[in-house]
Amino acid sequence: MDWTWYLFGFKGRINRAKYWLAGLIIGCWMIFLMLLLFVPIGYLFGWPERLNFSIDNVFAIFNPHSFRGLSRSDIGAIVVNVITMPLFLWVFFATSVKRLHDRDRSGWWMVPFFIVPGIYYQFQGQLGDSVPEIVLGFAAPILYIWGAVELYFLRGTRWTNQFGPNPLGKEQMRARSEQARLRATTAWDQESEIEMVPHKASAHFPKFALPRSNNLSRTSESNGH
């Protein structure tokens, strides 16, 4: 397998198993970098109470209100996220886009599935009790759950779609109709295929009548004379 394309490319398709594997790889990288950076970050900024990797920390960078009341150690945790999160986000978006391609969807579906809910949860405290806050508060969890189901649980198209062939290798050029599916899954019944039907004379064929006996006798008498 081409690991560079798998983790960093945005073209093509991957199935559910490879998408779950990508999430496992990202998790292992997070643990490794957390252990690697914990000592230098603690030495420079002080030991943080917790050092975690979260996409919410990325949105917090663009929210000035999130920097109020931060301690020196909290700033160190944000610095770690700024350094490492681009790699994680790239792999996450690259594999997610290819998984959406497997579902025959454009990569732009990442905007309503994850970006819009992430921005809402970061800035919801500043929206107040406005109409957009109510609408987004209702739509954000639905979009997030929908995106998770699409990426992690639903099977991709079995045939070649606009983004490439089936990554499982079980190629089917197009969706089968119900009649074709029944024909492919139903056993062949020889008796129903071969049926002897008695032949009946058709009314379109010409009918021939034999001459009457008196005509035959007249013919024989004329031949005798």
What does the domain layout of the chain look like in residue ranges? 14-152
DSSP annotation string for 6-17: HHH--SS---HH
How many angstroms separate the CA atoms of 53 and 36, rounded?
13
19-28, pLDDT tens digit by residue? 999 999 999 9
Residue 165 CB partners (closer than 8 Å, separation 6+): 13, 171
Phi, psi angles (nearest 5°) of residue 164: 140, 180
What pTM was computed for the model? 0.69
Measured over the CA atoms of residue 56, residue 106, residue 26 and residue 146, the dihedral's sign is positive
49-69, pLDDT tens digit by residue? 666 666 666 666 666 666 666
127-178, pLDDT tens digit by residue? 777 787 888 889 999 999 999 999 999 999 999 999 999 999 866 555 556 6
Cα 40 vs. chain centroid, distance in angstroms? 41
